[in-house]
Amino acid sequence: MAEAAFWGFVGASALVIAAEVAFRVDLASMSVGLIMAFGVGTLISSIAFELVEPALDLADDPAVLVLGMLAGSVVFFLGDRLVASLGGARRGKRGKDAAGGSGLGIVLGTILDGVPESAVLGMSLVTLGEVGPALLCAVWISNFPESLGATVDMRDAGRSRTWIRVMWWSIAGVSAAAAAVGYALVSAAGAHAGAVVEAFAAGALLTMIADEMAPEAFGKSHLYTGLATTAGFVAAFLLTTLG
């Protein structure tokens, strides 16, 4: 469990690093979009090859996995709508679009986005015996642009650097705990039930990608989004197959 927490923290370390980058460098919107699009591709690849495929090997009935993925999707959707009502709908946006985001909404939104990713890292320790490099890279890359945009948002809203740093370090701690919980759930549930838990997390992640990451990536990188997404998918696929 301690190892799972460690890898969960490593995946979330991008939140802290991106904040420091945002304090010092104002990256162009296109650059942020390309990073996010690349992350979309890596996450989709990791979900397919390091989450769903192992779960399918463990499950007795594929229909149960389908129900698990649908349940994960619905739960994330409802949670995302709740966060949006608290001011998190504009998290990750920059400039004028950031004006409507509240500090609480950004915090809750980032936790909502990051918890399934971190939990999956812990689950992979049980099902794969290790944290796949492709999955770890996918989680790290997906966290980077989200923190970058949200840090700019909060800085422009008057939040101090200390407040922002404490927030990101705290969320990194929550992510470490989520990875430990993911590990514990799959370990305690057994192979078949653990496969359902993984399917649930996969559904939540796919919904997060479609609702949050992909639209924002396209909004920033436009016609280059597909190229960057495919590059991310191929990179993660190569890491999975060659790792």
Say yes or no to pLDDT of 103 above 70. no
In a domain, 77, yes or no: yes
Say yes or no to pLDDT of 159 above 80. yes
In a domain, 50, yes or no: yes
pLDDT of residue 71: 92
Asked if 121 contacts 11 with a C-beta cutoff of 8 angstroms, the reply is: yes
- The count of structural domains within the chain is 1
In a domain, 212, yes or no: yes
Which residues lie below 8 Å from residue 234, measured CB to CB, with a gap of 6+? 41, 45
CA-based R_g, the chain, Å = 17
pLDDT of residue 86: 67
Its domain, for residue 58, covers 2-13+42-242
pLDDT of residue 16: 93
pLDDT averaged over the chain?
81
In a domain, 18, yes or no: no
pLDDT of residue 104: 59
Query: Coil, helix or strand for 68?
Result: helix
Query: Would you state the structure tokens that stand for residue 81, as one six-digit string?
Result: 């709508």
Indicate the residue type of 128: L
Q: What is the pLDDT of residues 75-94, one digit of tens each?
A: 889 888 887 776 655 454 44
Which residues lie below 8 Å from residue 60, measured CB to CB, with a gap of 6+? 192
pLDDT of residue 162: 93
In a domain, 31, yes or no: no
In a domain, 188, yes or no: yes
User: What is the rounded CA–CA span in Å between residue 240 and residue 229?
Assistant: 17
pLDDT of residue 94: 42
pLDDT of residue 231: 94
Lowest-confidence segment of 69-78, 96-105, 121-130 by average pLDDT:
96-105
Indicate the residue type of 233: F
Q: What is the pLDDT of residues 106-151, one digit of tens each?
A: 667 777 777 777 887 887 777 667 777 878 888 888 888 878 877 8
Say yes or no to pLDDT of 1 above 90. no
User: Counting runs of H as helices and runs of E as strands, what totals does the chain give?
Assistant: 9, 0
Asked if 92 contacts 150 with a C-beta cutoff of 8 angstroms, the reply is: yes
Identify the CA nearest to 17 among candidates 164, 115, 174, 156. Answer: 164
In a domain, 30, yes or no: no
In a domain, 19, yes or no: no
pLDDT of residue 98: 42
